[in-house]
Amino acid sequence: MRLKHGSRKAAVKSLVILISGRGSNMRALLDASLPCRVAAVISNRADAPGLEIAREQGIATRIVAHRDYPDRESFDTALAAAIDAHQPDIVALAGFMRILTPRFAEYYRGRLINIHPSLLPAYGGLDTHARALKDGVKIHGCTVHFVTGDLDHGPIIIQAAVPVLEGDTPATLAARVLREEHRIYPQAVRWLCAGSLSLDQAGRVHLNHVEQPGFALVAPGLE
């Protein structure tokens, strides 16, 4: 990995999206008319269905197959080279199912974000909906965060909470959460594009000119 940033363009910011699968969050970003240029979609799997969606929308796609590399370091180096070919201001992980090295996360610090299907710091990792149901939580949700070397635990940008309903299965709960993912991920990217969102040296998130909500989600509801 070359540890030198390329020159940044001042005008319209550019975005590279990394996927591994169906790409519904990627589609939400593509459909959101974001004030940035989507430079490329990169997948670690050649069979990711999301690649076709990107191609249909005329977005450049690239495959960097993790299986072609002997270890995480060499995969991450190749991935960074593929990303840097587009000199993006923002790199969005959208269902990208590889653990990235701390060195990779540090290199893209402040411009690498992820969407996770839980209210972090609860339920990092996989099978979040089944685990939440097993624990009997009444409120679940999703989180967009900056990526650091600490898996699924980077500084939080935005979260959406949903109620867990009687009779929910992992699938019904996942669908309710996914609808919110598709709302909050474009919002986070929009803030980054506008320059109103940043990460400081101490790892704190700064969000300017954003109204704070004045409501609470209570589940089950009060009578």
Binding site for ligand GRF (CB under 6 A): 19, 21-25, 50, 94-95, 115-117, 178, 181
Residue nearest to ligand GRF (CB): 95
Q: How far is the CB of 2 from ligand GRF (least distance, A)?
A: 27
Whose Cβ is closer to ligand GRF: residue 101's or residue 143's?
Answer: 143
Q: How far is the CB of 30 from ligand GRF (least distance, A)?
A: 11
Which phi and psi (to 5°) does residue 49 adopt? Answer: -60, -30
Whose Cβ is closer to ligand GRF: residue 24's or residue 198's?
Answer: 24
- Of residues 5, 66, 86, 116, which has the active-site annotation? 116
- Active-site annotation holds for 116: yes
CA atoms 17, 5, 203, 211: torsion sign: negative
CA atoms 39, 69, 106, 115: torsion sign: positive
Calpha distance 192→36 (Å, rounded) = 10
Whose Cβ is closer to ligand GRF: residue 57's or residue 74's?
Answer: 57
Q: How far is the CB of 223 from ligand GRF (least distance, A)?
A: 33
Whose Cβ is closer to ligand GRF: residue 142's or residue 192's?
Answer: 142
Active site residues: 116
